[in-house]
Structure formats: C-alpha cells, structure tokens
Amino acid sequence: MGRKASFICQLCGKDAGSIAVIDNDHVRLHGLNDRTEIANSEAFKAIDNSDARALYHLNEEYVSFYCPRCDCFYCNEHWKKRVLFDDGFYDATYGECPAGHERRMDD
C-alpha cells in the first residue's frame, strides 16, 4: 500500500492531481473528478515511476490535468475548461492548457 503518484502545477506549484493504488484492480483518482477506476499492473508500474505519459496512454482520464504536448501538469485554476452537453446531458469536459493545447479531460 501507499503506492501513489502526485503531480503539481507547472505554473504555480499547487497540487494538480494524484493517482493512488487502492487494491489489486483499482486506483483512486484525485483531480478533475475524485473517483475510482479499474487499473492493471501496467498502470501500477507507471504509478511507481510517476510516469504521467504512460498513464495518459493507458487511460487519458487517469491524469486529467496532464498536458501531453507540454509534458507537464497544470492545476484546476490554470486549465480553461469547457463542459459539453449533448441533448441536455453531460457529454464531456475539454480543457485548454495555458499554452493553448486542447485535450479531452473527462468523458
């Protein structure tokens, strides 16, 4: 236990998010959303290495505040977020990083 990767904002040094192993099949996400997700040994290895890029490629929602083009994290305040609705229902959240890169943060 205690396996966790935490990431800080490139601009202000504040907490941007984290991902922690909770049991053999799950991780706990903290960031845009706090929730539990399914994970596998590849994800656990990436957490041990604090490898955000690997986590992003496994599941982009593992690291919702990571910008793959900047290869760094930004906190909640530094992402410009856009929530999309489809027929009145929540569809997805997109974000633009301070350098102007857009990514899907949640879906």
- Minimum CB separation of residue 2 from Zn ion in Å reads 26
DSSP string, the chain: ---EEEEE-TTT--EEEEEEEEETTEEEEESSS-EEEE--HHHHHHHHTT-HHHHHHH-GGGGTTEETTTTEE--TTTSEEEEEEETTEEEEEEEE-TTS-EEEEE-
5 binds Zn ion (CB under 5 A): no
101 binds Zn ion (CB under 5 A): yes
Name which position in 32, 47, 63, 67 contacts Zn ion (CB under 5 A): 67
- Minimum CB separation of residue 53 from Zn ion in Å reads 13
Chain residues in the site for Zn ion (CB under 5 A):
9, 11-12, 67, 69-70, 75, 78, 97, 99, 101
